[in-house]
Amino acid sequence: MFNDTKCIWENKGTKPTEPTKVNCWDNFVFNDTECKWENKGTKPAEPAKVNCWDNFVFNDTECKWENKGTKPTEPTKVNWWDNFVFNTTTCTWEKVFFNEDDCQNIIEENYSKLKDELYVAPQLVTPNGDKLNDEWIIPEFEFKCLNEHNRVMLFNRWGAKVFEQENYMSDKTKLFKGYSSNSLDFKNGELLPSGTYFYIIELNNKIRITGYLYLITESK
């Protein structure tokens, strides 16, 4: 602007003020050609997920992406045969069943524990229709590897076999309910008398577990 008093040109222009940052990544650079501030900053790109549980959240204070995701915790085993495998597609833990080739190894590796659990389990059958111990339930045989690879036998005090069933627990209609299924002393299907019976459980034709079962019936 020309100053007529001083007869000189005076610069009354001022450089535009740099804009205030709104985002942590803002980076203002002055463009002399267009005489303006330009924001050359860009928000950092969100990292690519490596794991299905990755969850990136942007930290404005530190101006960076942070992974807040964590891998889901493996479920607690309820049964010793529980086998959990992580599914990266659904990002969840899934219970999987062992294949036939694994069964023998699983039984042999867990023999001591299985023997103890079978021994301490309630071994009482009272087939009186009250829905309490009406049939002999072996919870461990809910496991497929066991209920398809076993043979259960019961003997009376004289050593006579009174009950035999292969793949026990695989067919709930064939559980021991106090009736004979195999005996020289009792007819097939006859209610057995109260008493203590000796059981033998064979697993995969190699492992044998024994114990006693107590039967209380009205038969004498």
Do the beta carbons of residue 91 and residue 105 sit within 8 Å? no
Backbone angles phi, psi at 2, to 5 degrees: -85, 130
Q: Decide if 163 contacts 174 (C-beta within 8 A).
A: no
Other C-beta atoms lying within 10 Å of the C-beta of residue 176: 25
Q: Give the C-alpha separation, 95 to 97, whole Å.
A: 7
Among 78-82, 158-162, 169-173, 174-178, the least confident range: 78-82
| pLDDT, tens digit (0-9, with 9 covering 90-100), for 55-70 | 999 999 999 999 999 9
Grade residue 101 by pLDDT with cuts at 50, 70 and 90: low
State yes or no: pLDDT of 156 exceeds 60.
yes
- pLDDT tier, 205 (very low <50, low <70, confident <90, very high otherwise): confident
Q: What is the distance between the alpha carbons of residues 25 and 162, in angstroms, rounded to a whole number?
A: 83
Phi-psi region of 55 (alpha: psi -120 to 50; beta: other; left: phi over 0): beta
Q: And the tokens for 116?
A: 């103890």
pLDDT at 184: 56
pLDDT-based confidence at residue 152 (cuts at 50, 70, 90): very high
**Euclidean distance between CA atoms 54 and 49, whole angstroms:** 6
- Domain limits of the chain? 1-71, 100-215
115 or 197: which carries more pLDDT confidence? 197
Amino acid code (one letter) for 64: K
- The model's pTM: 0.56
- CA distances in angstroms from 209 to 33, 106, 206, listed in the order given: 92, 15, 10
